[in-house]
Structure formats: structure tokens, C-alpha cells
């Protein structure tokens, strides 16, 4: 994760963030982002795995793992927020009508990403729509 505050940039993992000093004075929290994580594997390589190896891959992926990973991410976020607040950061929570304004402001960024992916021959629109669907399904 890279946090940017003005010209200062801090490259951190969430655990680093919890265990080290805070590098920003302001945090904005709102339901306007999604952080997808996914695992991909070449189908031919997967087919060459032994049954026990396939079982390990299946146990390490899927909805149960996604839910558990999301819970860890949420807990780390709470710890990071507390650390930030304990170090004087101001936290702004965007809700209600303000959330609609943020969505409107952020939509061009998402649109630009989709257009860039599709310009490169990738299904950006499909990926983005599926990410939104998963966001709702896993909420």
C-alpha cells in the first residue's frame, strides 16, 4: 500500500501501518471503494497438479477464504484507524448525500480505467461491473 500526503509518500503494508508511525493527518472513510483480491492460475498447470495439491489450492481460495481475508482486512483497518486517531489524525466519514457527491466525483476515474483497459484489448467494463457485483454480494 502506498499512502500519499502532499509530497510525502509512505509505502506500507497494513501490518506495517499498525506497527509504525502514522504519516498523514487526515483520513477520509466512505463506502466508495472496493479492493479486489484474486488468485489466477494457468488451467494447464492446474490440471497437472496432484489431487492433494488441487485440494490445497481449493482450500486456499473461494468464498470462505474471501470472507476470512475480508475480516482480517477490516480488523486491520480498525486498528490502523485507532492508531491514526491516537496520533492526531482527523477522520472524516462520508455518508448520505455527501456519498453521492463523492461517487459523482470518482466516476470519471473509474470510467478512465475502463477505457484504458478496453483500449488495450482487455474487458475493462466487464471486470468493473463484476467487481461491483461482488462488492454487493459480499457486503
Highest-scoring range by mean pLDDT, 29-38, 58-67, 124-133? 124-133
The string of pLDDT tens digits covering residues 39-89 is 889 999 999 999 999 999 888 888 888 888 888 888 988 988 888 888 888
Neighbour-count burial of 74, counting CB atoms closer than 10 A to its CB (0-12 exposed, 13-18 middle, 19+ buried): exposed
Grid cell 477464504 in the structure block, residue: 65
Indicate if the pLDDT at residue 111 is higher than 50. Answer: yes
CB atoms within 10 A of CB 80: 20
Q: Which of 38, 34, 6 is nearest to 106 (CA)?
A: 34
Decide if 2 contacts 10 (C-beta within 8 A). Answer: yes
Residue 10: partners with Cβ closer than 8 Å, 6 or more residues away: 2, 3, 4, 23, 24
Decide if 23 contacts 10 (C-beta within 8 A). Answer: yes
Q: What is the pTM of this model?
A: 0.56
Indicate if the pLDDT at residue 139 is higher than 80. Answer: no
**What is the structure's pLDDT at 1?**
45
Decide if 124 contacts 116 (C-beta within 8 A). Answer: yes
Amino acid at each position: 500500500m502506498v499512502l500519499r500526503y502532499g509530497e510525502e509518500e509512505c509505502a506500507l503494508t497494513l501490518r506495517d501501518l499498525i506497527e509504525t508511525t502514522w504519516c498523514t493527518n487526515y483520513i477520509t472513510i466512505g463506502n466508495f471503494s472496493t479492493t479486489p483480491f484474486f488468485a489466477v492460475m494457468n488451467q494447464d498447470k492446474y490440471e497437472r497438479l496432484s489431487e492433494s495439491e488441487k485440494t490445497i489450492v481449493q482450500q486456499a481460495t473461494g468464498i470462505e477464504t474471501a470472507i476470512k481475508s475480508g475480516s482480517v482486512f477490516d480488523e486491520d483497518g480498525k486498528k490502523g484507524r485507532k492508531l491514526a486517531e491516537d496520533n492526531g489524525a482527523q477522520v472524516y466519514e462520508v455518508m448520505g448525500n455527501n456519498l453521492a457527491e463523492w461517487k459523482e466525483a470518482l466516476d470519471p476515474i473509474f470510467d478512465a480505467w475502463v477505457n484504458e483497459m478496453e483500449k488495450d484489448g482487455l474487458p475493462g467494463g466487464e471486470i468493473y461491473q463484476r467487481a461491483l457485483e461482488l462488492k454487493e454480494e459480499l457486503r
